[in-house]
Amino acid sequence: MIDRNNLKIRPIIGLEIHVQLATKSKMFCSCPVEFGAEPNSNVCPVCLGMPGVLPVMNRSAVEYAIRTAIALNCQIAGFTKWDRKSYYYPDLPKNYQISQYDLPLSFDGSFDVPTGEGQTRRVGIIRAHLEEDAGKNIHDNPSITQVDLNRTGTPLLEIVTEPDLQSADEAFTFCTELQRLVTYLGVSEGSMQKGQMRFEPNVNVIIEYEGLEYRTPISEVKNLNSFKAVRSAIAYEIERQVNDWIADRDYVIDKRPKENRGWNDEKGITEFQRGKEEAHDYRYFPDPDLVPVAIDETWLEKIKASVGELPVNRQKRMKHEYALSEADVVTILHDKASADLFEAAAGMGHAVTLGKQFISFWSAKANELKCTIAELGIDTDRMGELSKITAEGKINATAAAQIAEMMFDRPDPPFKIAVDQGLVQVKDENQMQVWVDEAFTANQKAVKDAIGNPKKQKQARGFLAGQVMKISGGKADPKIVGKLIEEKLTGMDSN
């Protein structure tokens, strides 16, 4: 038996991704694209594949696809056409899917994926083409299968990468970055819950053993619908393939066919579905009902102008412009609407303070309500003003968090709330001295520790400051409080 520890393993991973485009209507008919509608309510003779009907291309879908392809550094075809991919399945009423075969809309691109510590992995994009989705088989009732054709004909962008990814984590990051890209471009909602992004990794490994290289057969894991499943399925596949090779040295690419496998989320394993012998022959041929698409320079320039700032560039710019940490800028850029809100509010408020408030109470509130910060519905002016009055010292950080909470119930400007609630910071040193004295009298033990106990000094001083803030009802200026506490302690120390 070969010892696993003597092997050098290099995973080779490529991805095939289907992204649902955010058009109002379907790819080749005017039926609405709508999630959660009554089954088979958004259908017509075209998407049901009735004889004699004529499909008409959705121009927005083509523009969304080209916008994405540009962002993925792809070449855009000047001329592209539609092909029929034939197969039989209950969720495909026409018995063929309209797709693109030999002349895809775009090809030869790349996408840079951060791999940590400022490094990136450049992943080649082989092609990105348009096609229509199939319907959905429903197995809710164990004795029958039902078919919902609402999804039939929904526009999909299929993106195929080169096998450039080298770990499950890299593939995970690729998928999350792609989601951020398509949502920033406004071409897809990118919702996992609604099945708008589906992933199919191709995985095999190069095993180095006693100076020789062995390649395991490629397996394709079908239809993953979460980032977590992508990472888990790839990690599982890498280990499975190495173990299968250890058990059978003929488990190599030249001697075994490519496999299709399915991910069993409950068991955390992939399961064999079919080998190459049974692979489909799709009998592709040009769709005679659809005219080819010519993409001229004028059209292309117009779409290029709609691409906007890409999330990766925006991240770099905002990090510098607002002096944010890498982690904070990622939080703020979570979704485009929240990032837009941040920049607009920063313009009328105080950017650095807003950054802190964004990642503390605003994002905590969004997490609590399971929405984005933009979806909290706090308008730009008030969010900006809150950061401004905090930065100017009119209120302290604790009061800011309290006011933020109240802003959900009151439409008033934050400063008005501060005045009404008596949260405007007291700058009067005499008043603060009274509070400090009061806190010292009430907490003799902490005072003793703050002077005499080197181990507890820092903690005790922090405790005293907290007590002063409490006595002041959150109105004291923490900076001045800190100063007064130090002065008082120094005075006592020398006694």
Name the residues that contact Zn ion, by CB under 5 A.
Answer: 29, 31, 44, 46-47
44 binds, among Zn ion, Mn ion, none (CB under 5 to 8 A by kind): Zn ion
- For the bound state, the minimum distance from the C-beta of residue 54 to Mn ion, rounded and expressed in Å, comes to 23
Least Å from the CB of residue 299 to Zn ion: 26
Report yes or no: 164 and 122 within 8 Å, Cβ to Cβ.
yes
Q: How far apart are CA 326 and CA 331, in angstroms?
A: 9
Closer Cβ to Zn ion, 29 or 175, answer by number: 29
How far apart CA 132 and CA 290 sit, in angstroms, is 14
Nearest to 46 by CA among 29, 23, 21: 29
Using CB under 5 A, which of 132, 158, 328, 343 touches Mn ion?
A: 158
Part of the chain binding Mn ion (CB under 5 A), chosen from 36-44, 153-161, 173-181, 372-380: 153-161
What's the min distance (Å) between Cβ of 308 and Mn ion?
27
Which of 283, 26, 17 lies closest to 149, judged by CA? Answer: 26
Nearer to Mn ion, 74 or 351 (CB): 74
Query: How far apart are the C-alpha atoms of 252 and 36, rounded to whole Å?
Result: 45
Tell me whether residue 20 or residue 353 sits nearer to Mn ion (CB atom).
20
Nearer to Zn ion, 13 or 27 (CB): 27
Out of Mn ion, Zn ion, none, what residue 47 binds, judged by CB under 5 to 8 A for its kind, is Zn ion
Query: What CA–CA distance (Å, rounded) separates 467 from 448?
Result: 15
In the complex with Zn ion, which residue's Cβ is closer, 95 or 264?
95
Q: Which of these segments, 154-162, 259-267, 423-431, 465-473, binds Mn ion (CB under 5 A)? A: 154-162
Whether residue 131 contacts residue 100, with contact meaning beta carbons closer than 8 Å, is answered with yes
The option from Zn ion, Mn ion, none interacting with 31 (CB < 5 to 8 A, set by class) reads Zn ion
Which DSSP category does 476 fall into?
A: B
Token duo for residue 447: 């005072």
Non-local CB neighbours of 239 within 8 Å, separated by 6+ positions: none
Q: Which positions ≥6 away from 143 have C-beta within 8 Å?
A: none
Cα–Cα distance for residue pair 472/474, rounded to 1 Å: 5
DSSP for 467-484, written as a single string: HHHHHTTT-B-HHHHHHH
Between 380 and 419, how does the x/- string for binding to Mn ion read (CB under 5 A)?
----------------------------------------
Instruction: Please report how close the Cβ of residue 159 comes to Mn ion at its closest, in angstroms.
Output: 10
For Mn ion, the closer of residues 158 and 449 by Cβ is 158
Q: Among residues 158 and 385, whose Cβ is nearest to Mn ion?
A: 158
Quote the tokens at residue 287: 């769709």
Give me the least distance between CB of 222 and Mn ion, in Å please: 11
Q: Least distance (Å) from Mn ion to the CB of residue 18?
A: 6
Separation of CA 391 from chain center = 31
Taking the least distance from each CB to Zn ion, the nearer of 30 and 367 is: 30
- Does residue number 200 form part of the binding site for Mn ion (CB under 5 A)? no
29 binds, among Zn ion, Mn ion, none (CB under 5 to 8 A by kind): Zn ion
> Applying CB under 5 A, does 287 fall inside the site for Mn ion?
no
Tell me the helix, strand and coil percentages in the chain, rounded to 5: 40, 20, 40
In this structure, what DSSP letter does residue 196 have? -
φ/ψ of 339, rounded to 5, equals -65, -40
Q: Which residues lie near Mn ion (CB under 5 A)?
A: 158
